[in-house]
């Protein structure tokens, strides 16, 4: 079920490279990408336990295209506004920030989901499930035990109710992502625009000589 967002992200990245190469414009890609990503996350928050497969695929495609459009343009914008001698530092910094953000996103998402399942623990007990299943579907281990919905619960009504609880907890993640994406969209309007020239400027790499070495 994650294939749509993966493919859409890849296609969005390819399309971005072609557009920037043909037009030299990158700001529009950032704005469109942030807008699509915000809309896609917002739509994912509307998913319910009985949502159709078409809705799941469609919402993922929108979010995936937005994510794909944001792979290269921010890096290009950074390079366009950075001097040649600071390019390596700039690329290393944005790579570090992206890696750190990915790690934090996974942690924050897990905490939000865990808290959601903790809040819904009473509802899980009220459904009338065995204590072992209730424990597995509560707190931090709930995500790992999602298969228990089908392997340990035979009543379709109880399966539906447990899926409702899972969807409610996941919905909080999408709401958080939507808010953060919207903040990113607002911040993107403060990025400076610079025309990308098609002229290649040769740059030399190496260590800068110290003035004391020149005197020697």
Spatial distance between the Cα atoms of 45 and 51, rounded to a whole number of angstroms: 11
pLDDT at 187: 92
Give domain status of residue 27, yes or no: yes
This prediction's pTM: 0.81
pLDDT at 151 over 80: no
- Nearest CA to 77 out of 122, 37, 28, 44 is that of 28
CATH (domain of 27): 1.20.1250.20
> Residues 14, 58: contact at Cβ < 8 Å?
no
Give domain status of residue 150, yes or no: yes
Total number of residues shown for the chain: 216
* Mean pLDDT across the chain: 84
Q: What mean pLDDT do residues 16-35 have? A: 89
Spatial distance between the Cα atoms of 17 and 9, rounded to a whole number of angstroms: 13
Spatial distance between the Cα atoms of 62 and 67, rounded to a whole number of angstroms: 9
Dump strand ranges (E) for 26-165. none
Spatial distance between the Cα atoms of 184 and 101, rounded to a whole number of angstroms: 13
Number of domains in the chain: 1
Give domain status of residue 201, yes or no: no
Give domain status of residue 209, yes or no: no
Give domain status of residue 152, yes or no: yes
> Residues 17, 30: contact at Cβ < 8 Å?
no
Give domain status of residue 214, yes or no: no
> Residues 24, 195: contact at Cβ < 8 Å?
yes
pLDDT at 191 over 70: yes
Read off the pLDDT band of 175 (50, 70, 90): very high
Give domain status of residue 84, yes or no: yes
Read off the pLDDT band of 166 (50, 70, 90): confident
Give domain status of residue 184, yes or no: yes
Domain ranges, residue 71: 3-195
């Amino acid at each position: 079920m994650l294939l749509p967002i993966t493919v859409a992200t890849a296609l969005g990245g390819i399309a971005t490279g072609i557009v920037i190469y043909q037009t030299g414009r990158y700001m529009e890609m950032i704005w469109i990408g942030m807008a699509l990503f915000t809309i896609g996350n917002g739509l994912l928050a509307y998913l319910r336990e009985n949502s159709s497969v078409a809705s799941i695929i469609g919402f993922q495609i929108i979010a995936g295209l937005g994510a794909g459009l944001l792979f290269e343009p921010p890096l290009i914008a950074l390079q366009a506004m950075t001097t040649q001698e600071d390019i390596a530092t700039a690329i290393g910094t944005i790579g570090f920030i992206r890696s750190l953000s990915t790690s934090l996103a996974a942690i924050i998402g897990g905490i939000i989901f865990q808290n959601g399942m903790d809040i819904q623990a009473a509802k899980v007990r009220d459904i009338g499930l065995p204590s072992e299943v209730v424990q597995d579907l509560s707190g931090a281990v709930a995500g790992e035990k999602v298969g228990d919905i089908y392997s340990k619960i035979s009543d379709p009504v109880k399966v539906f109710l447990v899926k409702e609880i899972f969807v409610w907890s996941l919905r909080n993640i999408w709401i958080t992502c939507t808010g953060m994406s919207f903040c990113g969209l607002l911040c993107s309007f403060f990025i400076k625009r610079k025309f990308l020239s098609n002229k290649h400027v040769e740059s030399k790499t190496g260590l800068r000589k110290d003035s004391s070495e020149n005197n020697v």
